[in-house]
Structure 1
Amino acid sequence: MKFKLNDIQNRWNKSNPFDFSDLKALLINCTLKKSPEQSHTEGLMSMAETIMQANGVKTELIRAVDLDIAPGVYPDMREHGWEKDEWPEIQKKVMDANILVIGTPIWLGEKSSIATKVIERLYGYSGKLNAHGQYAYYGKAGGCLITGNEDGIKHCAMNLLYSLQHLGYSIPPQADAGWIGEAGPGPSYLDEGSGGIENDFTTRNTTFMTWNLMHLAFILKNGFPAHGNIRKEWDESDHEHPNPEYR
C-alpha cells in the first residue's frame, strides 16, 4: 500500500541532495495474519517504504507468514529433514538489499513467533563470509518497526536490533519506531479513530528511522571497512594464546 505522506515528509523528499537510486531495501512483515487480511504492522511499514521509494530506493515488502519457511538455524532446512523451505529465496533478497527492516506486532509483550523465526533463519547465514572475508551482513543497515495494543515497543526493538547487530548489520541512530494503543483490546494502528496514523511521535520516529537507514546504507554502499574484522586472517594467524595475554 502507498502511504500518504505529510507536508514535511514530502518537503524533505523533494529537497534531498543525496542519490539513493542504487540502494535496495527489503522489508519483512512478521504479522501473524496471512494475506489478504489487513496488517496494521504493514500499514506502519508502508510509511517507511513510501519515503524510500520517493527517494529512489528500490523496495520490496514481503509478508513472511505467507511463505513456507521452515524453522531452524541453517541456510536451507531441506538439507535437514524439511520437505519444503522457501527461506533460501528470501535469503537471496536479504543479501541483495542494502537495508533490512523487520516489522512485528507485539504479543504477550514479545515480538511475534514469525519474527523469531525470521531472526533464526537470518542467523543461519551469519557464519558466511563476504568477498572481503568479513561476515556476510557487514555493510548492510538494519532497523525495525513495532505495532500493538500493549506495552513492549522498546523491549521488542532492543531484541531485534541487538540480534541484527550481532549478526553483522550496522544500526543507525533512531533505528526503531512503533505505535501502540491503550492496554487491552482496542483499535489498532490503521483502525478509524485509533489515532495511529495521526500520531506525531510515531510518524516522526518512523521518518527519522527511514532517513537514517538510507543515510547509513549510502555511507556503507562500498562496504564496511575491511581491517581488524577478517575471519580468515584470524583463523590462519599464529597466535599463541586463545585470548589476549594479560600483562
Structure 2
Amino acid sequence: MANQDKECTTSQWDFSNLKALFLNCTLKRSPEKSHTRTLIDVAVAVMEKNGVSTEVIRPVDYKIAPGVYPDMKEQGWEEDQWPELWKKVQAADILVIGSPIWLGDKSSECTKVIERLYGQSGQLNEQGQYIYYGKVAGCIITGNEDGIKHCSMNILYSMQHLGCVIPPQADAGWIGEAGPGPSYGDDGIGLDNDFTQRNTTFMAWNLMHLARILKESKGIPVHGNQRSLWESGCRFDHPNPEYR
C-alpha cells in the first residue's frame, strides 16, 4: 500500500513550462453555474497540482462572430472578439474543448468555436507546418442524455484534422439519467462516479505527458509535412512518379 501511495503522489516530470487552455462551450454566460465547468475543474486541479498554467474561458462571454475566417470584421461583421481569443489559443500547449450535450450533439457555441479554429488552420508555424502542429487536444462533455462518445468523436476528429495531436483517452464526460434532472455537480451528483473521475484524470495526465514530449522535441519533425516545400515540388517519397 505504501508503494501505491508513493506512485500516486510522486511525479518525476516537470510540466511547469506548459500552458493549458480550456474553452468551456456552455451556453450559460458568467457567472451562471456551468456543469461543464464543474467537470473541467477536475482536470484543471490535476494540471495545476503538477505546475501547468491553466486558463478557463467561456466563449459565450465574448462577441464572437460566426464564420471560418480569422477576423470576421473583414467579412462585414461590425464586431468580432475572436482575434482576442486566438492569441490565447496560440500560446497554449494543451487545448481542451468542453461542451454540454443538446439534442444529442455538442453545443452551438462549440460548433462556432471549432469553425473559428478552422478559420486559422491555413496559417503556418515558423517551420512551415500548419499552425496547430505541436499542440495536444482533448474534450470534456456533460449532459442529461446520451452523446458523450458522439460529441467526443466529432470534436477530437475536428481537432486532429486541424493539426493537433490527440493522446490516448483524450475525452471524459458525465451524463445523468435520460431526460430532465440533476446535472453534473448538482448536490454532489456525479462527483463520486468512478468512470468519470478516472477518465478525467487519465485525460489530464495523457495531455500533460504528450504536451511535454512534444515541447521537449520541439514539436512534430518537419520532414514530410511542410506545405511550402510541397507547393514548390517536393513530394516526400510520394509513390506515384507520374504525379508532379
1:98 and 2:89 are equivalent in the alignment:
no
Change (3 A) 1:26 1:11: farther
Partner of 1:223: 219
Give SS of 2:131's match: coil
Kept in 2, the 8 Å contact 1:13–1:55? The answer is no
Change (3 A) 1:71 1:11: farther
Aligned letter for 1:200? D
User: Which of these residues, 23, 32, 37, is aligned with residue 42 of structure 1?
Assistant: 37
Q: Structure 2: which 5+ residue stretches go unaligned?
A: none
Task: Render the CA deviation track for 1:121-176: whole Å, top value 9, x for unaligned.
Answer: 00000000001100000000000000000000000000000000000000000000
Q: TM-score, normalised on structure 1?
A: 0.91
Partner of 2:22: 27
1:169 and 2:164 are equivalent in the alignment:
yes
Kept in 2, the 8 Å contact 1:23–1:58? The answer is yes
Partner of 1:112: 107
CA displacement at 1:89 relative to structure 2? 1.0
Task: Render the CA deviation track for 1:73-121: whole Å, top value 9, x for unaligned.
Answer: 0001111101111110111100100000000000000000000000000
Give SS of 2:187's match: coil
1:187 and 2:168 are equivalent in the alignment:
no
2: distance between equivalents of 1:141 and 1:238? 28
Partner of 1:201: 195
Aligned letter for 1:178? G
2: distance between equivalents of 1:217 and 1:115? 23
User: Which of these residues, 45, 53, 63, is aligned with residue 58 of structure 2?
Assistant: 63
Change (3 A) 1:183 1:164: same
2: distance between equivalents of 1:11 and 1:87? 44
Q: TM-score, normalised on structure 2?
A: 0.92
Identity in percent: 66
2: distance between equivalents of 1:63 and 1:11? 36
Q: Structure 1: which 5+ residue stretches go unaligned?
A: 1-9
CA displacement at 1:14 relative to structure 2? 3.8
RMSD: 1.8
1: distance between equivalents of 2:164 and 2:73? 26
Task: Render the CA deviation track for 1:191-225: whole Å, top value 9, x for unaligned.
Answer: 1153x111010000000000000000001012111
Aligned letter for 1:62? I
CA displacement at 1:238 relative to structure 2? 6.4
CA displacement at 1:12 relative to structure 2? 6.1
Partner of 2:233: 237
1:72 and 2:64 are equivalent in the alignment:
no
2: distance between equivalents of 1:198 and 1:146? 17
Aligned letter for 2:197? T
Give SS of 1:192's match: helix
Change (3 A) 1:243 1:110: farther
Give SS of 2:169's match: coil
Change (3 A) 1:12 1:30: farther
Task: Render the CA deviation track for 1:171-191: whole Å, top value 9, x for unaligned.
Answer: 000000100001101100011
2: distance between equivalents of 1:39 and 1:160? 19
CA displacement at 1:244 relative to structure 2? 3.2
